[in-house]
A and B are shown apart, each in its own frame.
Chain A
Amino acid sequence: MTAARVFVKTGERFSREDDGDFTNPGVPLASGETYNKVYVFPTGSNNITDFDARKPLDSGSMKLLVNNVSHLCYQKCRTLATIVGPGRFEFLKATSPWRNPYRPVTGITQDAERFREIGWNPDDSIRLGPFPAIMDRVVETPRAGTPSETSQTAAPGARCMRKLVMVIRGYRNSSEVYPRFYVCGTEREAASPANPNTSLFQIDASERAWIEQIGSTSVSMPPTPLSPGQAHIQQGWQAYLLDWNDAPAFAGEYRLFIPVSFLTDITTVNQRRAPTSANFEYFVWLGWNAEDDQDAIHSVTLLEVRDIGSAEADANAS
Chain B
Amino acid sequence: MPIALVPDSPSHIQLETFDTGNKAAARHTREIVRNISFLQGRNVETITHSAPHSCSLVQDSTAFPATYQTTYEFFYRRSPGASYAMLGVDVYPTEHIFGTSHYDTEVEFNLPASVSYRTPADDEELNTIFQARLISDGHSDQSQYGIVDVSRLTDSVVIFGVTASATNETLGSLVHYDGGLQKLQMFELPTSILQVGTSAGFSTGSVDDTWATPYRTIVEGVRDDSGGITAGYGFKRAVDQTQQIQTRWRNCWQIVNHQGSAAVDGMVNVWSLDDSGTIIPLDFKVPGVDSGEVEFWIRTRNYFGSEGVTPTNRYTLYIRHRGVAGFLDFHYETEVSAVTGAPFVFLPASVGWTTTTLTIDLPCDQWDLQREQLVRFWFTGNTDSSGFTYISALALIENEPT
A residues adjacent to B (C-beta < 8 A):
9-11, 14, 16, 18, 22, 27, 29, 35, 37, 39-44, 48, 51-53, 56-63, 65-73, 75-88, 90-91, 97-100, 121-122, 126-132, 134-136, 159, 167, 169, 171, 188, 191, 210, 223, 253, 257, 274, 276-279, 281, 294, 296, 298-299, 301-310, 312-313, 315-316
Instruction: Assess the A100–B96 pair: CB atoms within 8 A.
Output: yes
B242 located at the interface, meaning its Cβ lies under 8 Å from any Cβ of chain A in the complex: yes
B143 located at the interface, meaning its Cβ lies under 8 Å from any Cβ of chain A in the complex: no
Chain A residues positioned under 8 Å from B9 (CB to CB)? 10-11, 134-136, 159
Sample of 13 more A-B contacts, CB < 8 Å, known A41-B239, A48-B223: A11-B9, A56-B24, A81-B46, A84-B255, A86-B286, A130-B130, A132-B44, A136-B9, A210-B370, A223-B370, A279-B8, A279-B129, A313-B370
Instruction: Assess the A10–B11 pair: CB atoms within 8 A.
Output: yes
Chain B residues positioned under 8 Å from A22 (CB to CB)? 369
**Most chain B CB within a 10 A radius of its CB, from A57, A279, A281, A304:** A279
> How distant is A145 from chain B, measured CB to nearest CB, in Å?
23
Closest residue of A by beta carbon distance from B307: A37
Instruction: Assess the B245–A72 pair: CB atoms within 8 A.
Output: yes
Instruction: Assess the B242–A58 pair: CB atoms within 8 A.
Output: no
Instruction: Assess the A42–B304 pair: CB atoms within 8 A.
Output: yes
Instruction: Assess the B369–A73 pair: CB atoms within 8 A.
Output: no
User: In the complex, which of the residues B19, B62, B289, B299 contacts A304, with contact meaning CB atoms closer than 8 Å?
Assistant: B299
User: In the complex, which of the residues A42, A57, A315 contacts B24, with contact meaning CB atoms closer than 8 Å?
Assistant: A57
User: In the complex, which of the residues B129, B286, B400 contacts A277, with contact meaning CB atoms closer than 8 Å?
Assistant: B129
User: In the complex, which of the residues B19, B131, B218, B253 contacts A57, with contact meaning CB atoms closer than 8 Å?
Assistant: B218
The 9 A-B residue pairs whose C-beta atoms are closest, nearest first, are A88-B288, A85-B53, A60-B20, A87-B287, A11-B10, A81-B49, A84-B52, A53-B220, A63-B18
B284 located at the interface, meaning its Cβ lies under 8 Å from any Cβ of chain A in the complex: yes
> How distant is B60 from chain A, measured CB to nearest CB, in Å?
10
Scan B117-160; emit 1 where CB is below 8 A from any A CB, else 0.
00000000100111100000000000000000000011101000
Instruction: Assess the B289–A76 pair: CB atoms within 8 A.
Output: no
Give 15 pairs: A residue, B residue, CB < 8 Å, sorted on A. Answer: A10-B11, A10-B13, A58-B23, A62-B29, A65-B242, A75-B302, A79-B253, A84-B257, A90-B288, A91-B287, A98-B99, A134-B43, A298-B294, A303-B298, A308-B370
Number of interface residues of B (CB under 8 A): 116
User: In the complex, which of the residues A48, A97, A279, A306 contacts B239, with contact meaning CB atoms closer than 8 Å?
Assistant: A48
Instruction: Assess the B251–A79 pair: CB atoms within 8 A.
Output: yes
> How distant is B173 from chain A, measured CB to nearest CB, in Å?
19
Chain B residues positioned under 8 Å from A298 (CB to CB)? 286, 289, 293-295
> How distant is A260 from chain B, measured CB to nearest CB, in Å?
14
Instruction: Assess the B20–A57 pair: CB atoms within 8 A.
Output: no
> How distant is A27 from chain B, measured CB to nearest CB, in Å?
6
In the bound complex, CA of A58 to CA of B20 (Å): 7
Given A37-B305, A98-B58, A316-B368, does the pair A29, B15 have CB atoms closer than 8 Å? yes
B32 located at the interface, meaning its Cβ lies under 8 Å from any Cβ of chain A in the complex: yes
In the bound complex, CA of A152 to CA of B242 (Å): 37
In the bound complex, CA of A51 to CA of B234 (Å): 11
Scan B363-392; emit 1 where CB is below 8 A from any A CB, else 0.
000011111101000000000000000000
Closest residue of A by beta carbon distance from B189: A132
Chain A residues positioned under 8 Å from B249 (CB to CB)? 76
Scan B311-344; emit 1 where CB is below 8 A from any A CB, else 0.
1000000000000000000000000000000000
Instruction: Assess the B53–A42 pair: CB atoms within 8 A.
Output: no
In the bound complex, CA of A171 to CA of B240 (Å): 48
Closest residue of B by beta carbon distance from A52: B220
Instruction: Assess the B293–A253 pair: CB atoms within 8 A.
Output: yes
Scan B95-116; emit 1 where CB is below 8 A from any A CB, else 0.
1111100000000000000000
Chain B residues positioned under 8 Å from A44 (CB to CB)? 401
Chain A residues positioned under 8 Å from B303 (CB to CB)? 71-72, 75
**Most chain A CB within a 10 A radius of its CB, from B20, B36, B401:** B20
> How distant is B123 from chain A, measured CB to nearest CB, in Å?
11
Chain B residues positioned under 8 Å from A281 (CB to CB)? 129-130
User: In the complex, which of the residues B98, B235, B236, B301 contacts A76, with contact meaning CB atoms closer than 8 Å?
Assistant: B301
> How distant is B32 from chain A, measured CB to nearest CB, in Å?
6
Chain B residues positioned under 8 Å from A83 (CB to CB)? 50-52
User: In the complex, which of the residues A57, A98, A223, A276 contacts B235, with contact meaning CB atoms closer than 8 Å?
Assistant: A57
> How distant is B56 from chain A, measured CB to nearest CB, in Å?
8
User: In the complex, which of the residues B19, B39, B46, B131 contacts A72, with contact meaning CB atoms closer than 8 Å?
Assistant: B39
Instruction: Assess the B306–A10 pair: CB atoms within 8 A.
Output: no
